């Protein structure tokens, strides 16, 4: 659960490279983007311009399926869909393991209280050229407690660095963390908030996944770790904070009527600046804790397909698990295409069992925790199609989907401000609904056995030929 041990392991595997002397202003972000596009290693930036050595930023930590698999304890050479299957199976048997309260931890090596608060001492990057400022929080964890029920929610939200003691907080409407904060505001109170800016990927993962209301993400993290997550109790907020965090802050999020700041614009996961610059809540920081030589974990959104592979890989597995849990049979694979910003374009392969089976699958994907808000296209294919192979999927769409009879449009769906297709007029009215497309790229059920045969050598013939003529295919 220690980020530094994880980085050392990745470096020993050739999956992390150190970068010296980059500028926090655009260079870190652009190097991260270029490396991500090339499926390069994780990057640990040190000696950042204007900052002392040891104040570091790490990016692209789990930005490839291989590193996601290694992080979760799987082989690094399995296929995308097999990785999603193993993630599904891991979450299927995962047991929530409540965190363990401890008195001490590395995060307490340095503690700054009111009067000594200075967030500017951390090398928060300006990630993209059109960003309206520097963002300390991208691969972060925002921690809040429900005021009525007492459970703790942890989510990943973007956090802008405004000044020495003020952070900006963007939370999309309908997200659990925002609903909790709004419940404090409805009572005329500020919401106590803690934010972690550097953490082991296994601890971070649950914060960007969708779980049912009242599910505590620290319990999920403990299940992934196989042991309780050690947490300290924040002296200002009383909130649990991972003891091995690199950087953590505590503060208050006041009602918008008391204070807001202009937040953004910020380059977003779909690849646009859809939310623009707008008044947003703030966190007034009262306490900073950090390790010696702290590390910021950066996971900046980038225009797809250059984005965090952890999102589409892990969400593919948890979406697959949702389909199983509601009892849908015949699901053979699930994949959220990286080019679809991990959630806008989902593919499910099935062995058709009955009429309407494919449509049922698509409707379930759009209604589940992972697909309800962001999904725009759901493509259902037969089980001979690898949903993780985009060429396979496009071939199925081109040859098995009749546009007039195999596509359906659903309107009035739950949307997001990150959706670039929502007009300014609708944004002004708070109308964030959108439409979804179901694409049935599978053989029509009633005459699927009479559908023309595929022109491809059988698996048996291919295996026999490779055994005899394999030398022809050696690089």
In this structure, the answer to whether residues 265 and 357 fall within a common structural domain is: no
Helix axes 357-367, 309-325, angle to 10 degrees: 120
Q: How far is the C-alpha of 215 from the C-alpha of 26, rounded, in Å?
A: 37
The number of distinct structural domains making up the chain is 3
- Which among 220-229, 330-339, 455-464 has the top mean pLDDT? 220-229
Mean pLDDT of 404-427: 89
Residue 282: closest CA among 262, 310, 266:
262
What integer pLDDT is reported at residue 296 of this predicted model? 98
Cα radius of gyration rounded to whole Å, the chain:
23
Q: How confident is the model at residue 174 (pLDDT cuts 50, 70, 90)?
A: confident
Tell me if 97 sits within 8 A of 202, measured CB to CB. Answer: no
On the question of pLDDT at 334 being above 70, the answer is yes
My answer on whether 2 and 56 are in the same domain is: yes
Does one domain contain both 232 and 159? yes
pLDDT in the model for residue 114:
85
How far is residue 264 from each of residues 246, 354, 411, measured CA to CA in Å? 25, 49, 29
**354: domain CATH number?**
3.40.1670.10
Residues 231 and 205 in one domain: yes
Question: Do 104 and 54 sit in the same domain of this protein?
Answer: no
Give pLDDT, residue 96: 96
Q: Which of 28-37, 46-55, 209-218, 362-371 has the lowest mean pLDDT?
A: 362-371
Supply the pLDDT for residue 342. Answer: 65
pLDDT digits (tens, 9 = 90+) for 89-103: 999 999 999 999 999
Same domain flag for 266 and 150: yes
Is 402 found in the same domain as 457?
A: yes
Question: What residues make up the domain containing 193?
Answer: 99-293
Query: Are 255 and 389 contained in the same domain?
Result: no
Q: Are 207 and 236 contained in the same domain?
A: yes
> Which of 234, 265, 293 is the last residue in one of the domains?
293
283 lies in the same domain as 368: no
CA geometry: angle 378, 383, 385, nearest 5 deg: 70
115-154 pLDDT per residue, tens: 899 999 999 999 999 999 999 999 999 999 999 999 999 9
Listed residues 35, 60, 85: the one ending a domain: 60
Contact 216, 96 (CB under 8 A): yes
Nearest to 7 by CA among 248, 310, 309, 297: 297
For the ranges 27-36, 173-182, 370-379, which has the lowest average pLDDT? Answer: 370-379
Residue 312's pLDDT is 83
454: pLDDT strictly greater than 70: yes
Same domain? For 307 and 269 the reply is no
Other Cβ atoms within 10 Å of 134 Cβ, number: 18
Both 280 and 402 in one domain: the answer is no
d(CA 466, CA 133): 56
Residue-wise pLDDT for 230-256, tens only, equals: 999 999 999 999 999 999 999 999 999
């Amino acid at each position: 659960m220690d980020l530094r041990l994880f980085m050392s392991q990745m470096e020993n595997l050739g999956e992390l490279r150190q970068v010296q002397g980059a500028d926090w202003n655009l260079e870190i972000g652009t190097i991260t983007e270029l490396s991500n596009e090339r499926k390069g290693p994780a990057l640990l930036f040190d000696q950042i311009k204007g900052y002392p050595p040891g104040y570091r930023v790490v990016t692209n930590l789990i930005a490839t399926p291989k590193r996601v698999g290694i992080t979760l304890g799987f082989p690094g050479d399995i296929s995308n869909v097999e990785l999603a299957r193993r993630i599904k199976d891991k979450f299927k048997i995962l047991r929530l393991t409540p965190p363990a309260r401890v008195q001490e931890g590395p995060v307490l090596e340095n503690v700054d209280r009111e009067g000594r608060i200075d967030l500017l001492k951390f090398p928060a990057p300006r990630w993209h050229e059109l960003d309206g400022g520097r963002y300390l929080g991208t691969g972060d964890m925002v921690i809040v407690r429900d005021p009525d029920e007492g459970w703790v929610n942890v989510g990943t939200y973007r956090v802008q660095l405004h000044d020495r003691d003020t952070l900006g907080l963007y939370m999309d409407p309908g997200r659990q963390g925002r609903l909790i904060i709004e419940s404090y505001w409805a009572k005329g109170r500020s919401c106590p908030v803690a934010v972690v800016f550097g953490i082991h990927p296994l601890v971070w993962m649950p914060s960007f996944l969708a779980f049912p209301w009242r599910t505590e993400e620290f319990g999920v993290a403990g299940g992934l770790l196989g042991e309780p997550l050690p947490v300290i109790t924040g002296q200002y907020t009383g909130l649990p904070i991972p003891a091995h965090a690199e950087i953590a802050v505590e503060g208050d999020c006041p009602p918008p009527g008391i204070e807001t700041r202009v937040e953004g614009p910020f380059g977003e996961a779909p690849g646009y600046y859809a939310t623009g610059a707008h008044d947003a809540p703030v966190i007034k920081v009262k306490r900073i804790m950090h390790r010696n030589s702290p590390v910021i974990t950066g996971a900046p959104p980038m225009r797809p397909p250059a984005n965090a592979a952890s999102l589409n890989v892990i969400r593919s597995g948890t979406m697959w698990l949702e389909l199983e849990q509601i009892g849908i049979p015949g699901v053979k694979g699930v994949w959220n295409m990286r080019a679809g910003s991990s959630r806008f374009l989902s593919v499910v392969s099935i062995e058709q069992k009955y009429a309407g089976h494919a449509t049922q699958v698509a409707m379930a994907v759009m209604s589940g925790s992972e697909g309800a808000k962001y999904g725009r296209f759901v493509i259902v294919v037969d089980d001979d199609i690898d949903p993780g192979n985009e060429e396979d999927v496009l071939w199925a769409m081109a040859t098995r989907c009749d546009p007039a009879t195999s596509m359906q449009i659903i309107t009035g769906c739950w949307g997001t401000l990150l959706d670039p297709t929502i007009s300014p007029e609708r944004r002004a009215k708070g109308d964030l609904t959108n439409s979804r497309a179901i694409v049935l790229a599978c053989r029509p059920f009633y005459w699927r056995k009479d559908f023309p045969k595929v022109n491809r050598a059988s698996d048996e013939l291919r295996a026999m030929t490779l055994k005899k003529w394999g030398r022809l295919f050696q690089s």
